[in-house]
Amino acid sequence: MNANPQWDISRALRVARLFHLVCGVRDACVTPFLALYLRQLGLAAPWVGILMATKHLIAALWAPFCAFLAKSYRKRRVLLMGSLLGSVAASLLMVLVPPPDKDPAYRSCNAGDRATPTALPPGAARTVTVASARQPASRHAAGAPSPPGESRTGTLDAAGFRTAPAGGGHQSSGPPPGYAVRSVEGARTASPVLQPDTSGVKDTPGEGGLKAGRTALPLLAGGTAPGSPANLSAAQGNGRTLGLSLEGLRWTFFLSLGSLVFWELLSAPLEQVADDSLYEYLDFVDATDRYRSLWIWRLLGMSAGVCGIAALVGQLECVLMTNGPRGVLHFYGYSLVSTLALLVSIAFPVPICRPQEPSCKTVKALSLVGGDPRLILLALTVFLIGAATSTVQNFLFWSMEDHGSSELVMGFSVALGLLGEILLHPFKAMLLRKLSRVGTVGLGLGCLAAQLLYYSFLWSWWSVLPAQILSVISNGALWWAVKASVEDLATPGTERPLGAMFRGHIYGGGSSLGSVVGGFVASSFSLAVLYQACCVVLVLWLALFLSIQPRLPREQKINYSKLLVMEASDTSDSEQGTERDWLVKAMREEYSE
């Protein structure tokens, strides 16, 4: 068999492991940091939520369609290489999206001036000196902010707005025109941000030297809180929000949307096409049991990639001195690793002599979900998991950044959960056997709810790390139980289509809805409220899930071993005939394992 290079299983598995490893590094370069990069472009939480929802929706709908076309026309290798090559070019389009403010306020390259913003407890205040922006001369006569060079001294409350010092002075319930300040505790993600002074000016004794910096912005039209900078600017009629033109913000949003859609259309089909191709390749020679362990290589690649790219960006951001946000370095790394994956894809195993199979398995899987109440309950659970998880993927790094975390700490927090999942995998069978699939799903939902509640009370740059240990259960064990339940409830031949539907359509749809709702909740309230609300929803659904699941009708499956035992007992008077039955022995051994 190995004499034929088309079916060289050992070589195919080596190439597949390398491909999964490289693709894991590739995905880790950008995907965890994408929402953070959109924030650096100046987009507020609602607009970031819309962009991320669009990304999830395209991946859920477009990838299966492309996989079907590639299989039907036998163009899988062409699609693999085209997807990798196109994603290189499409990802670089994101680099070309200009931020409304050209000042890279997120970069701090002077080690002597490097400062880390710290969170203020509720009700606390900080004294700062903020220099006003230049205003027209006609506004000075009307009592507008002071001319350039003059400083205003006051306090920043927990909401991030400046108030006058005790003993008089100009009173203000919000930031005056030309100022950019953000909640130091990161509560209102759509509010302006208080940035450390990186202009080379040293802090004066007794005062926090802070500078007005660019950050995430309120909604373009409507939905802004009373007294917000957007409403103040609109009232003045100058068409600017925090010194940024609304027209520039609109261009940034729509250019980001177009680039993101084009990029996702090219990159989304890669994973499913590669998985289907490799599975059919191994299935042709009855070696699918070796397919199940390949996902570990992707997680290893992601763990190394997310920490490596974060460390690389931290070292190179001041050396390269790019004009855009520091996040552009992630896209350069993504393009470089995609080029390496393109070279590996040339040798990726693709079956070329595969008989045609019925193409209606997806329809059968959909009808199966609609006719089984247990699958319906499981689908609703996966949908809610996607919605809750999307809030973590989109906005957890925002909260960590507000508490002073570096990108290396962010990357390490992701790698911690991935490595824990790999270490727990040897105990997968024991866990599912001891707790049952339903119990493991319930435990995963509980751990996810506990994580979300913990995220709402972050207090330092490192405080997120202990909660990442729960990702071993809330992500790893939870999906193992979901996959096992799907395989148990599926009819013969629909296991893979049904699993792909749960992981793609249902989970992706929940992530899309959760991104939109999460963005608006974070903007209207705070990230803490968002995570607490998700926690409450998951706890309520957990109680409902555990109460409904035992009452659902169970389909009685035929136990073939018992039938054989009964048949043997009817035809033989001794137990010796039953023990000789090879099928009974095999099934007993399998059960004992």
Where a domain ends, among 349, 376, 410?
Answer: 349
Is 149 inside a domain boundary?
Answer: no
395 and 528 both lie in a single domain: yes
Q: Look at residue 165 and tell me whether its pLDDT is greater than 50.
A: no
At residue 150 the predicted structure's pLDDT band, cuts being 50, 70 and 90, is very low
Distance, in Å, from the CA atom of 323 to the CA atom of 330, rounded to the nearest integer, reads: 14
Side-chain-facing half-sphere of 314: CA atoms under 13 Å: 15
Is 134 inside a domain boundary?
Answer: no
Q: Look at residue 322 and tell me whether its pLDDT is greater than 90.
A: no
> Who has greater pLDDT, 72 or 17?
17
Residue with tokens 């499409």: 90
Q: Look at residue 199 and tell me whether its pLDDT is greater than 70.
A: no
When pLDDT is averaged across residues 36-59 and rounded to a whole number, the result is: 95
Is 36 inside a domain boundary?
Answer: yes
Distance, in Å, from the CA atom of 560 to the CA atom of 409, rounded to the nearest integer, reads: 54
Structural tokens at position 528: 């803490």
The H or E element containing residue 210 is strand 208-212
263 and 410 both lie in a single domain: no
The H or E element containing residue 212 is strand 208-212
Where a domain ends, among 283, 314, 349?
Answer: 349
Is 582 inside a domain boundary?
Answer: no
450 and 397 both lie in a single domain: yes
> Who has greater pLDDT, 559 or 400?
400
At residue 36 the predicted structure's pLDDT band, cuts being 50, 70 and 90, is very high
427 and 311 both lie in a single domain: no
Question: Residue 6: its pLDDT value, please?
Answer: 54
Question: Residue 253: its pLDDT value, please?
Answer: 94
275 and 412 both lie in a single domain: no
Q: Which of 252, 250, 231 is nearest to 242 (CA)?
A: 231
- Kindly report the CATH number assigned to the domain that includes residue 340: 1.20.1250
450 and 508 both lie in a single domain: yes
When pLDDT is averaged across residues 468-492 and rounded to a whole number, the result is: 93
Please give the mean pLDDT across all residues of the chain.
Answer: 76
- Kindly report the CATH number assigned to the domain that includes residue 483: 1.20.1250.20
Q: pLDDT tens-digit profile of 235-257?
A: 343 433 444 467 778 889 999 99
Q: What is the DSSP string of 3-53?
A: TSGGG-HHHHHHHHHHHHHHHHHHHHHHGGGHHHHHHHTT--HHHHHHHHH
% of the chain surpassing 90 pLDDT? 52
Q: What is the DSSP string of 416-448?
A: HHHHHHHHHGGGHHHHHHHHHHHHHHHHHHHHH
387 and 267 both lie in a single domain: no
When pLDDT is averaged across residues 125-131 and rounded to a whole number, the result is: 40
Where a domain ends, among 349, 375, 391?
Answer: 349
Q: Look at residue 21 and tell me whether its pLDDT is greater than 50.
A: yes
The H or E element containing residue 208 is strand 208-212
Q: Which of 334, 336, 344 is nearest to 263 (CA)?
A: 334
318 and 422 both lie in a single domain: no
% of the chain surpassing 70 pLDDT? 66
Structural domain range at position 268: 1-101+248-349
Distance, in Å, from the CA atom of 135 to the CA atom of 403, rounded to the nearest integer, reads: 32
Range ranked top by mean pLDDT from 94-98, 281-285, 323-327, 416-420? 416-420
Q: pLDDT tens-digit profile of 494-522?
A: 888 999 999 999 999 999 999 999 999 99
Structural tokens at position 404: 């002073």
401 and 497 both lie in a single domain: yes
89 and 11 both lie in a single domain: yes
The total domain count for the chain is 2
Number of neighbours of residue 479 by Cβ within 10 angstroms: 19
Is 385 inside a domain boundary?
Answer: yes
pTM for the model:
0.75
Determine how β-strand 208-212 pairs with β-strand 240-241: unpaired
Range ranked top by mean pLDDT from 126-140, 261-275, 545-559? 261-275
Which residues pair with residue 130 across a beta bridge?
152
Q: What is the DSSP string of 102-157?
A: -S-TT----GGG-----PPPTT--EEEEEEPPP--HHHHTTT-SPPTT-EEEEEE-
Q: Which of 549, 582, 534 is nearest to 439 (CA)?
A: 549
Is 120 inside a domain boundary?
Answer: no
337 and 406 both lie in a single domain: no
Contact 294, 16 (CB under 8 A): yes
Structural tokens at position 360: 């209606």
Q: Look at residue 2 and tell me whether its pLDDT is greater than 60.
A: no
Buried b (16+ CB within 10 A) or exposed e, 541-552: bbeebeeebeee
Is 14 inside a domain boundary?
Answer: yes
Q: What radius of gyration do the chain's Cα atoms show?
A: 28
Contact 457, 543 (CB under 8 A): no
Q: Counting Cβ atoms within 10 Å, is residue 104 exposed (0-12), middle (13-18) or buried (19+)? A: buried
Contact 233, 240 (CB under 8 A): yes
Query: Which amino acid is residue 72, in one-letter code?
Result: S
Buried b (16+ CB within 10 A) or exposed e, 169-180: eeebebbbbbbb
Is 488 inside a domain boundary?
Answer: yes
At residue 125 the predicted structure's pLDDT band, cuts being 50, 70 and 90, is very low
Q: What is the DSSP string of 354-413?
A: -----S-HHHHHHHHHHH-HHHHHHHHHHHHHHHHHHHHHHHHHHHHHHTT--HHHHHHH
Question: Residue 557: its pLDDT value, please?
Answer: 53
Question: Residue 213: its pLDDT value, please?
Answer: 38
Q: pLDDT tens-digit profile of 359-397?
A: 567 788 888 888 889 999 999 999 999 999 999 999 999
276 and 377 both lie in a single domain: no
Distance, in Å, from the CA atom of 97 to the CA atom of 81, rounded to the nearest integer, reads: 26
At residue 428 the predicted structure's pLDDT band, cuts being 50, 70 and 90, is very high
Q: Which of 524, 499, 402, 407 is nearest to 455 (CA)?
A: 402
Distance, in Å, from the CA atom of 494 to the CA atom of 573, rounded to the nearest integer, reads: 41
Structural tokens at position 233: 């600017």
**3-17, 219-233, 347-361, 419-433: lowest mean pLDDT where?**
219-233
